[in-house]
Amino acid sequence: MVLFNMKKKILLVDDKATIGKIVDVYLGKEYDFTYLEDPLKAIEWLNEGNYPDLIISDIRMPLMTGDEFLRYMKSNELFKSIPIVILSSEESTTERIRLLEEGAADYILKPFNPLELKVRIKKIIA
């Protein structure tokens, strides 16, 4: 009997490449990791048939904000079940509550501890 150890897929959407590199170092060995620098490219990637187990999205990005991306994903029948973790440098309780109510699976403040991010992700997609 052959057992396949399929890695779970994670998509990171963030306009800062350094965040992509940090997340890749901590998650890349355990997960099938993809980094895209803006939500529009992420939507295109998703519409090409890619379906991650989880998406991590920055909140403040040019072209399309993380808020808009979250709303798009949660209103799309194909993608609404994908958990989305929001990364933000905003310590606003109001914003955090609003995004969680709109469907975010978690809200993590930047700068974040990569090990904490890894544990939170594992809890969501275990």
Say what the pLDDT of residue 4 is.
Answer: 63
Residue 37: closest CA among 15, 19, 59: 15
This prediction's pTM = 0.93
Cα-flanking dihedrals φ and ψ of residue 34, to 5°? -125, 135
What is the pLDDT confidence band of residue 5, given thresholds at 50, 70 and 90? low
Per-residue model confidence as pLDDT tens digits over 34-84: 999 999 999 999 999 999 999 999 999 989 999 999 999 999 999 999 999
Q: What pLDDT sits at residue 1? A: 53
pLDDT classification of 6: cutoffs 50, 70, 90: confident
Say whether pLDDT at 124 is over 70.
Answer: yes
The answer, yes or no, to whether residue 104 has pLDDT greater than 60, is yes
Architecture label for domain 9-113? 3-Layer(aba) Sandwich (3.40)
Burial letters for 92-108: b for 16+ Cβ neighbours within 10 Å, e otherwise? Answer: eeeebeebeeeebbbbb
- Examine residue 111 and say whether the peptide bond preceding it is cis (omega within 30 degrees of 0): yes
Lowest mean pLDDT among 3-7, 37-41, 71-75, 117-121: 3-7
* Structural contact between residues 56 and 85, judged by C-beta atoms closer than 8 angstroms: yes
